[in-house]
Amino acid sequence: MFSNPSQIISQLDLQSSARVADIGAGSGAYALAAAKAVGEHGKVFAVEVQKELLSRIEKEARSKGIHNIETMWGDAESAGGTHLADGACNAVIIANVLFQASDKQALAREAARILEPRGRALVVDWSGSFGGAGPAPAAVVSKQKAQEIFESAGFVLERAVDAGANHYGIIFRKK
């Protein structure tokens, strides 16, 4: 694996009982790590546009005895597309999604909408193409560009986190 979701999530310092949205949950690696971090009184909303991946996340959570993940179909590139209420979450995870988003600004705005005031967004993405192991070179979103996108959506940079050799990680705080 190119990154270690549990190690990256630990740097977000999630509180037990936190409400977290994993936008573009994919296979669920970050959602599962977040579910462990927030404990049985916390909640993770695994939002994914590919419906077949939602059942995969549910199956994986059951097999690991994790019961605090709610899978949700949603398109985070449209306003209200996550189907979560305004301010519903303490934190948002957007991991390996930014390079795929056709409307990156809309994605950042939707993250801001569902976050409570001063809530945090963890953005993890590829720092390069790495000879085809990552996204196509033209699809790579630089750390600087990610910062510009999220700052223009109402976030401030909190800090960078270690996301491994092939990724960058940034934590933003909603203004």
pLDDT digits (tens, 9 = 90+) for 69-114: 999 999 999 999 999 999 999 999 999 999 999 999 999 999 999 9
Task: Tell me how far apart the alpha carbons of residues 66 and 54 are, in angstroms, rounded to a whole number.
Answer: 15
Order across the sheet with 69-73: list the strands: 69-73, 43-48, 19-23, 89-95, 115-126, 167-174, 155-161
- Which range marks the domain in which residue 46 is found? 5-174
Q: What is the pTM of this model?
A: 0.96
Give me the number of domains the chain comprises. Answer: 1
1 pLDDT exceeds 70? Answer: no
Q: Specify the CATH number for the domain of residue 127.
A: 3.40.50.150
In DSSP notation, 64-90 reads: TT---EEEEE--TTSTTTT-PPTT-EE
Among candidates 17, 15, 19, 67, which has minimal Cα distance to 41?
Answer: 17
Q: How confident is the model at residue 131 (pLDDT cuts 50, 70, 90)?
A: confident
